[in-house]
Amino acid sequence: MRALIQRVTNANVQVDATLIGQTGPGLLILICAMQGDTDTQAQAMAAKIAKLRIFTDDAGKMNLSVRDIGGTALVVSQFTLAGDTSRGNRPGFSTAAAPDEGQRLYQMFTDALRGAGVPCETGEFGANMQVTLTNDGPVTIWIDA
């Protein structure tokens, strides 16, 4: 799995101009299931992100997790994280998981994140979504499983 995590003061996702998910303060997590990803990887990534210390403590150091600050997460599926531009200017997405498997792993990841104590809202898998965010810091972390 591949995730792009952004520390946000707020974020939301819309489909057809209808708000379907939001968070703040907390995390915006763009997530992509890759070919060959497993249930274990989805669960491990959720556990890691729940404990990821990217929020500042009273001393101004990144030492707190989203759970520590009582934050929430907005999880949005984004197969374009699998984009490969090594052979030209048009990205290829052949390393992304097939849609059915990608959706299953996306749901498993979100359920595991909730199970790790992080309240989550989500986007709509496979939909054309509009995501709005205010990146805090900015802090953006890339994680590959």
For residue 81, the number of C-alpha atoms closer than 13 Å in the C-beta half-sphere is 22
Strands 120-122 and 72-77: parallel
What is the DSSP annotation of 74-107?
Answer: EEEE-GGGG-B-TTSSS-B-TTBPPHHHHHHHHH
Q: For residue 80, indicate whether it is catalytic.
A: yes
Task: Tell me the sheet residues that pair with 29.
Answer: 5, 75
Measured CA to CA in angstroms, residue 142 lies from 82, 119, 133 at distances of: 12, 21, 17
Q: Which of 80, 85, 95, 134 is catalytic?
A: 80
By annotation, the residues acting in catalysis are 80
